[in-house]
Amino acid sequence: MSKKTPLAVVILAAGKGTRMQSSMPKVMHKVLGLPMINWILNTVGFLKPDKTIVVVGEGMDDLIAAIAPHEYVIQHAQMGTGDALKAALPALKGFIGDVLVVLGDMPLLNPASLERLIAARRTGADTGISVLGAQVGNPFGYGRLLINKDGTLLAIREEKDANDNEKLVNIVNTGAFCLDSRRIERWLLNVNNNNAQGEYYITDLPEVAAKDNMSTRIALVGDPREVCGCNTHQELVDLEAIAQQMLRESFIDDGVIMQDPASVYLHYDTQIGAGTLIEPNVYFGGGVVVGEDVHIKAFCYFEGATIGNKTTVGPYARLRPGAEIGQEVRIGNFVEVKKSVIGHRSKISHLAYVGDAIMGADVNFGCGAITVNYDGFEKHQTVIGDGVMIGSNVNLVAPVALDNGAFVAAGSTITKNVPADALSVGRSEVKVRQGWAALNRKRKNINK
C-alpha cells in the first residue's frame, strides 16, 4: 500500500464583505443557519487534512473565535488571493505534501469534488497544480478554463480579458486549487500585480508553473451549484435558496415526502426519517430530529426538538427546545411544547401549553389545559404518569405530580399531587341567583 500523501488546507477568508454593507466578515454570514466558514471547515474535515489554516483579516475576532481550534494567519494588506496564500506560507513552513486552497465563501462544496481535485494533482510527477472547474450554462462573469488538447490547463482567462471564442468556453474557474507544497513559495514570488486592480492572484499560478515545466490538471465539480459564492446580500439570498433546494432534494431522495417543497424551510442540521410527510409552510430551526413515518401538518415551527416515529404534529404547532415527543403521539393545532418529554401514544390535541414537564404514555391532555411552570422567579416541573386523563381548561400549577391513571376534572386548578387512579377536582363553588340577569338588564335600560 502506497504511503498517504500529507495534505494541508488553506481557507481564504479575509474578505471584509464590503459590498454586503456589513461590519461582519463575509464568511460569517449564515447559510441554512450556519456561518459559511463553518460549512467549509466541516467539508474539508471529511478529507482528514494534516493541518488546516484559515487566512483572516485584521480585527476579525469573531471569525477567529468561530474557527477555533484551527490555526489562523492574518493577511494584513489585502491585495488579492495570491497575497492571501502568501500570508499562509509561514504556517506551511516545513510541510511537504499537497496544499488545498479553497475560498471561504463557497459553503456548498462537496468533499467528493475536493477529493477529485486532489487526485488530479497527483496524476503524475509533472503535475504541479490542479484546478477545480465547473461546467455551467451561462459562464458570464467567470474566469474561463482554457484547456490544451491533452486535457491540461493552458490558462485561466478572466471575462474582461477573454476574446469572443474564449467567452464561449463554459468550463469556469471556481477558485479552488491543489498545489505541490515544495514549489508554492517560489511560484508565488513570480506572480506579479500588473493588472487593473494592482493585486496578486493565484489564477496566475498555472502559467507560472508552465514556465517551470509543470502542468496543471482540471477536475470538475459534481454539481455546479456547489461553487456558488456571494459578495452581496442579494447573492446571499440566492445562495440560501440554492442551499435550501439542494437539502430538500436530498431529503426527497431519501424518502421524505414534501407536498410543497419550496415552502419548507430547513436548517443545516435537520434530520428527517424516511416516510415522513411534510405539508406546506413548515419551519425547521436548529437541532430538530424527526423520526420515520411522521405526519407534519401545515404551519408548524420547530427548534431543538425530537419527534418520534409515526407521530402526528399540527397544524399550527410549535415545538421549542427540549421538546422530546415520543412515538405515535398526537400534537394538534395551536399546541406549544417546551422542554418536556411526551410519552408514547399521548395526545395533546388542541389549544394547550406543556412546559417543563415529564408526561407518561397514553395521556390525554385536554383542550385549553396548561402546565403553570413559572412563578415569576423560577421554572418548576410537572410530572404526569401513564394513562392520566386531564380535562379541558385545567391548570397544573408546578411543582406538581399526577400519578398513573389519575383523572383531573375539566376546569380544575391543581396545586397538590394527585394519587394513582384518583379523581381531582379544583373548582370554585358555583352560585346561581335566579332572575339576576333579567334584573340586571332592566337596571341598564332604566339608566339609559
- For residues 223 and 110, is the Cβ–Cβ distance under 8 A? yes
As a whole number, mean pLDDT of residues 366-386 equals 96
What CATH number is given to the structural domain containing 302?
A: 2.160.10.10
Vertex 39 angle, CA 38 and 43, to 5°: 115
Q: Which residues pair with 24 in a beta bridge?
A: none
Same domain flag for 240 and 321: yes
pLDDT in tens, 99-136: 999 999 999 999 999 999 999 999 888 999 999 999 99
pLDDT tops 70 at residue 448: no
- For residues 85 and 12, is the Cβ–Cβ distance under 8 A? yes
- Selection from 282, 287, 273, 286 nearest residue 301 by Cα: 282
Q: Which of 160, 193, 227 marks a domain boundary?
A: 227
Active site residue 267: no
The contacts of residue 440 (CB under 8 Å, 6+ apart) are none
Query: Does the model's pTM come out above 0.85?
Result: yes
Q: Is residue 252 part of a domain?
A: yes
Same domain flag for 191 and 331: no
Same domain flag for 263 and 287: yes
Same domain flag for 208 and 239: no
pLDDT tops 70 at residue 3: no
C-alpha cell at 80: 488579492
Q: For the ranges 46-60, 198-212, 289-303, 347-361, which has the lowest average pLDDT? A: 198-212
As a whole number, mean pLDDT of residues 12-23 equals 82
The pLDDT of residue 430 is: 82
Q: Which of 227, 245, 264 marks a domain boundary?
A: 227
Same domain flag for 29 and 111: yes
Find the domain containing 107 and state its range: 7-227
Same domain flag for 76 and 210: yes
Same domain flag for 80 and 150: yes
Q: Is residue 82 part of a domain?
A: yes
Same domain flag for 256 and 206: no
pLDDT tops 60 at residue 249: yes
Q: From the candidates 29, 344, 350, 380, give the one annotated as an active-site residue.
A: 350
Same domain flag for 169 and 315: no
Rounded distance between C-alpha atoms, residue 413 and residue 427, angstroms:
7
Q: Which of 227, 252, 286 marks a domain boundary?
A: 227
Q: Is residue 385 part of a domain?
A: yes
Q: Is residue 202 part of a domain?
A: yes
Same domain flag for 33 and 74: yes
Q: Is residue 441 part of a domain?
A: no
What CATH number is given to the structural domain containing 138?
A: 3.90.550.10
